């Protein structure tokens, strides 16, 4: 695969993840906590970065996009681990880092159906096929790191 194809695949995977989360929320009543919504935001930002890198297509643009995708995916993975290990055991997520970031960005007010937290971390702790939802998110963030590295490697002749 070419670097551009990897970046587009990254964008599609991220947008599919957000789409799946929205189906879970609006169809199956799996209401998100601030950490869930923060991960959604990170997926959207990774998708935008990957699309920009693919569109501009220069070596520099693709390298910067892939590098940013790696860093953002690592942050998203950390958020997923924190959600599972700490936040899901807490009765309240108010005023956590996730809540502060979402408030600062303002998307929770601009697009509440997508970015507004609607549950506490403990209430949002659900399983999908027997696996905690945040582990699915973590798995995708790991795959995004790998895909981003493959995108960078695809630019170099062998």
* Boundaries of every domain in the chain: 3-154
User: What percent of the chain is modeled with pLDDT above 70?
Assistant: 92
3-state secondary structure of 90: coil
Strand partners, 66: none
For residue 90, pLDDT beyond 80: no
Least confident span in 56-70, 76-90, 132-146: 76-90
**Nearest 5 degrees, angle CA 91-CA 72-CA 20?**
65
pLDDT tens for 39-61 read 999 999 999 999 999 999 789 99
Other CB atoms within a 10 A radius of the CB of residue 71 amount to 14
Which CATH number, 1.10.287.610, 3.30.559.10, 2.60.120.10, 1.20.1550.10, labels domain 3-154?
1.20.1550.10
Determine the Cα–Cα distance for residues 65 and 14; give it in Å rounded to an integer: 14
42 or 95, which is more confident: 42
């Amino acid at each position: 695969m070419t670097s551009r194809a990897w970046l587009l695949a990254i964008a599609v995977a991220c947008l599919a993840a957000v789409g799946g989360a929205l189906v879970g929320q609006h169809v199956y009543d799996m209401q998100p906590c601030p950490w869930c919504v923060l991960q959604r935001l990170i997926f959207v930002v990774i998708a935008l970065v990957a699309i920009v890198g693919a569109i501009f297509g220069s070596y520099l643009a693709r390298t910067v996009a892939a590098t940013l995708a790696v860093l953002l995916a690592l942050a998203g993975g950390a958020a997923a681990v924190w959600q599972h290990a700490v936040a899901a055991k807490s009765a309240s997520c108010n005023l956590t880092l996730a809540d502060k970031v979402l408030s600062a960005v303002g998307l929770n007010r601009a697009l509440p159906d997508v970015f507004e937290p609607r549950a506490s971390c403990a209430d949002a702790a659900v399983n999908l096929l027997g696996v905690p939802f945040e582990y699915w998110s973590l798995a995708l963030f790991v795959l995004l790191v790998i895909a981003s590295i493959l995108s960078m490697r695809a630019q170099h002749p062998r």
